[in-house]
Amino acid sequence: MRRTLTRSLLASAALMAIAACGGGGGGSSAPAPAGPSGNQTPGVTQSYLSGMAAVGSPVAFASVTAQCASGATLNGATDANGNWRLELSNQAFPCLVTVSGATLPAGQSLYSVALDKASALNVTPLTTLVTASAAQALPSALAGNATALSAAAKALDTGLASVNASLKSAGYTTVDGNPLTSAFKPQAGDAHDDLIAGLMRSLKDESQSLADLATAFAGSAGAEVPVPHTHVFSAAELTASAMPQLNHASLSVDAGVLNMTLAAGTSAAGSFVGGGNGNKAVLQLPGLAGTKLKDLQDISLQLSGPSTAGGKNVYAYMNFTVDLNCDATPLSASATLDDVRKRHRIFIYDPFVNFIQKAPSAISATELSTINFTRSTPGWRVSGGTSVGSVAINPTYDGSETLDGFDFSTYPNACIVDGVTGDGGMFRDKTADSACDTAAGLATGAPATCGKPYRGAIVVLGDSATTAAVQWKLKKVRVKTTAARNFAFE
């Protein structure tokens, strides 16, 4: 009896010793229950590694592999909700987890690094970029390389900082917490998932793959990486209260295309800073403030519309409000329109000469077509004031001038800014001061606050003299600087 009891105790001790060995193979012999998104129940030890794969939606029925610092490669698959689970045996952490196949594009994989089994591991485009930045190599290179994998695991915080800085510079709102382990729901409305979905949409709009971006982070040496960003305007953003229009003008969206509409007729003078009584539809483009003029590379508009209406040429064009010194100092309370016009100049790209006037027209009245222009494309001009190089001063231009004529040596920091411009053809705020409330054009000494602030980059249809009915359609705007900004519509 005593001998039997002794054998039982020894056997139990041996089993306990085995369970304590191995990098992650220990724990309860019964799998711990998984919480939402694969999170383990707190306080329960498990013998598996689990998590979720998502790209803005769950990655369903994809293959999952885990290659750890030591031990056999683990294989499994995601379920319909993107959740996965791999049973551990004698693997030692860290582990590179790869998700591939199923609905992912051919040849594309997602990567993440597990430091332990305590938390569910997300495998997403964000974790792929963090892994590439931390490793300073493509994540696939970590497979089977324990030394490189361990080094990458130690640099994950640095990689995350680099990815977050790049995303913020591109205009994204990053999420709190660690994207490798923070729980989220792969559905619209979840901030973490919305960030992933927005990134993937932006890459698609720019014809760039996740692998391309991962390669850029792998070679970045920790520096910021240009990341494309698509801003999708919601219906709420385009309401008259959120984005005011001038007189008989409106914006509306139909099947992903923006209608920029001018109704026929004049309006009472006084809506503009100047004395005009026409109509002007304006789309304000967010997120470009601070962009250096020297970084402006190329711009494109995908649009359609008639070049004439009621005997007057009416066409869409772009304005950029530029601070020649990129000075963020607020205007003084006593600033006049003359003061603000000296500080903020309006750079206009006018497609009339280069596109509409040419035969056959590059802009269709019925079908969407794309016009591209760069700093070297003829058709640039700048609002009146002191010379800023050979760029023509409005309205003396003839359509042959380019933005290459700007004096970049004198104004190397000139940048796009949001705010008041004092442009005579833009919004007036009659309530700002009694001097603003008049039907006449405002004098240069009128308060600067008579001009309403607006975004530094805008697409415009019409002007302060346009009284004819006309409608243009706009599907996409692309502004390429150090990175690409695309603008689309729901």
The whole-number pLDDT of residue 309 equals 64
The whole-number pLDDT of residue 46 equals 64
pLDDT band, residue 382 (cuts 50/70/90) = very high
User: Contact, 479 vs 223, CB < 8 A?
Assistant: no
- Co-location of 176 and 263 in the same domain: no
The whole-number pLDDT of residue 181 equals 97
Retrieve residue 380's tokens.
Answer: 């640039």
> Is 310's pLDDT higher than 90?
no
- Co-location of 340 and 371 in the same domain: yes
Among 227, 251, 281, the domain-final residue is: 227
Q: Is residue 380 part of a domain?
A: yes
The whole-number pLDDT of residue 296 equals 96
- Co-location of 281 and 297 in the same domain: yes
Retrieve residue 207's tokens.
Answer: 């014809």
> Is 8's pLDDT higher than 90?
no
- Co-location of 68 and 152 in the same domain: yes
pLDDT: which is higher, 216 or 265? 216
> How much is the average pLDDT of 129-149?
97
- Co-location of 150 and 275 in the same domain: no
CA dihedral 242, 243, 248, 249 (to 10 degrees): -130
What is the number of structural domains in the chain? Answer: 2
The whole-number pLDDT of residue 4 equals 39
Cα angle for residues 267, 272, 275 (degrees, 5° grid): 75
> How much is the average pLDDT of 88-112?
94
> How much is the average pLDDT of 92-121?
94
pLDDT: which is higher, 4 or 462? 462
- Co-location of 450 and 317 in the same domain: yes
pLDDT band, residue 417 (cuts 50/70/90) = very high
Indicate if the alpha-carbon torsion angle 445, 449, 452, 457 is positive or negative.
positive
Cα–Cα distance, 381 to 401 (Å, whole number): 7
Rg of the Cα atoms in the chain: 29
The whole-number pLDDT of residue 31 equals 34
Portion of the chain with pLDDT greater than 90, in percent: 76
- Co-location of 251 and 331 in the same domain: yes
Q: Which amino acid is at 130?
A: V
HSE-CB for 285 with a 13 A CA cutoff: 27
Cα–Cα distance, 155 to 289 (Å, whole number): 33
> Is 20's pLDDT higher than 60?
no
The whole-number pLDDT of residue 105 equals 86
> Is 25's pLDDT higher than 60?
no
pLDDT: which is higher, 395 or 409? 409
Q: How far is CA 301 from the centre of its chain?
A: 18
Average pLDDT in the chain: 88
pLDDT band, residue 44 (cuts 50/70/90) = very low
pLDDT band, residue 260 (cuts 50/70/90) = very high
Q: Is residue 8 part of a domain?
A: no
Of the candidate ranges 302-306, 362-366, 449-453, 468-472, the one whose mean pLDDT is the lowest: 362-366
pTM of the model: 0.86
Q: Is residue 215 part of a domain?
A: yes
- Co-location of 211 and 238 in the same domain: no
HSE-CB for 236 with a 13 A CA cutoff: 0
Among 196, 227, 258, the domain-final residue is: 227
The whole-number pLDDT of residue 37 equals 40
> How much is the average pLDDT of 241-269?
93
Q: Is residue 103 part of a domain?
A: yes
Range of the domain at 394: 230-489
Q: Which amino acid is at 290?
A: G
pLDDT: which is higher, 158 or 106? 158
Q: Which residues contact 489 (CB under 8 A, 6 or more apart)?
A: 232, 233, 238, 253, 256, 257, 258, 474, 475
Q: What are the tens digits of pLDDT across the range 153-170?
A: 999 999 999 999 999 999
The whole-number pLDDT of residue 5 equals 34
> Is 34's pLDDT higher than 90?
no
- Co-location of 247 and 218 in the same domain: no
The whole-number pLDDT of residue 322 equals 97
Q: Closest Cα partner for 394 from 374, 379, 411?
A: 379
pLDDT: which is higher, 316 or 308? 316
Q: Is residue 216 part of a domain?
A: yes
User: Contact, 446 vs 281, CB < 8 A?
Assistant: no
HSE-CB for 443 with a 13 A CA cutoff: 3
Q: Is residue 7 part of a domain?
A: no
Among 164, 198, 227, the domain-final residue is: 227
The whole-number pLDDT of residue 14 equals 35
> Is 489's pLDDT higher than 90?
yes
> How much is the average pLDDT of 396-408?
89
> Is 39's pLDDT higher than 50?
no
- Co-location of 358 and 369 in the same domain: yes
Q: Is residue 207 part of a domain?
A: yes
> Is 22's pLDDT higher than 50?
no
The whole-number pLDDT of residue 452 equals 93
The whole-number pLDDT of residue 118 equals 87
Provide the angle, in degrees to the nearest 10, between the axes of the packed helices 125-135 and 146-154.
110
Q: Is residue 55 part of a domain?
A: yes
> Is 319's pLDDT higher than 90?
yes
> How much is the average pLDDT of 235-243?
93
Q: Which amino acid is at 67?
A: Q
The whole-number pLDDT of residue 358 equals 79
- Co-location of 302 and 169 in the same domain: no
The whole-number pLDDT of residue 453 equals 94
> Is 10's pLDDT higher than 70?
no
> Is 38's pLDDT higher than 50?
no
pLDDT band, residue 12 (cuts 50/70/90) = very low
> How much is the average pLDDT of 81-96?
96
The whole-number pLDDT of residue 438 equals 93
- Co-location of 419 and 273 in the same domain: yes
> Is 124's pLDDT higher than 90?
yes
> Is 217's pLDDT higher than 50?
yes
CA dihedral 269, 426, 251, 484 (to 10 degrees): 170
User: Contact, 279 vs 263, CB < 8 A?
Assistant: yes
What per-residue string of b and e applies to 245-261 under the rule 16 or more CB within 10 Å gives b? bbbbbbbebeeebbbbb
